Amino acid sequence: MKEVKKKVVLTTAKNEPDFMWLSEVEKLIPWLDGKGADIGCGLRSPLKSTIRVDIDKRVQPDVLVKGILLPFKDGELDYIIGIHNFEHHDEQVKVLAEWLRVLKPGGIVGIVHPDVFYTKKQNPEIDREGLLKNPYNKHWHEHTLQTFEKQLLKWSHLPFKVVDRGVACPNWSFYYILKKV
């Protein structure tokens, strides 16, 4: 991890401050150096230099593709981040394997995930209208910091180690920093 000052995108698409998102991004920024991609970027990414990847063409990403089928060469990237994205993949072990494939040795995966201890579980009946507006917003997997750790332990066959983790935004989300080994 390098101590480098970086230009962070400080506002939402409506040009309003989003302090929860900034709290989450603050945990990732020290780890982001070199060429990287933001999977499920939505309307913003923490660094202007990051390649914005999304499946939703409405957000006008740099690359329009699912996070499980990345168009990058093996070992091409220095980092991958997924801010409130990983829970939207039903085959998470395959997604993580793909993210690790495109990373250089020593590359970083930064994941920010809602903590279901504080957030409600997604309810198809209650959340139906929102899911109809954005079908990509379905949560396939919901975790707490502790249950996510247990999930990662099940994937010990993949080439990574956990180098940092903790609360990203109090009473809302957690983060994990994985390093490709």
Q: With H, G, I as helix, E, B as strand and everything else as coil, classify residue 112.
A: strand
Q: Is the pLDDT of residue 175 over 90?
A: yes
* Tens-place pLDDT, residues 88-137: 778 999 999 999 999 999 999 999 998 888 877 655 665 556 655 665 66
Q: Is the pLDDT of residue 53 over 80?
A: yes
Whole-number pLDDT of residue 11: 43
Residue 129 CA to residue 70 CA, distance in Å, equals 30
**Which region holds residue 42: left if phi is over 0, alpha if psi is between -120 and 50, else beta?**
left
Whole-number pLDDT of residue 116: 87
Question: Residue 45 phi/psi, 5° resolution?
Answer: -140, 155
Residue 86 CA to residue 3 CA, distance in Å, equals 26
Residue with more model confidence, 149 or 137: 149
Mean pLDDT on 12-29:
78
Query: What share of the chain has pLDDT > 70, as a percent?
Result: 79
Spatial CA neighbour of 103 closest among 86, 85, 70, 79:
79
Structure tokens at 13: 């698409």
* 3-class DSSP string for 14-29: CCCECHHHHHHHHHHH
Q: In order of start, what are the domains of the chain with their CATH numbers? A: 23-180 (3.40.50.150)
Q: Are 66 and 88 in contact (CB under 8 A)?
A: no
At residue 44 the predicted structure's pLDDT band, cuts being 50, 70 and 90, is: confident
Residue 119 CA to residue 171 CA, distance in Å, equals 8
Whole-number pLDDT of residue 140: 62
Whole-number pLDDT of residue 3: 44
Mean pLDDT on 139-156:
87
Q: Are 172 and 115 in contact (CB under 8 A)?
A: yes
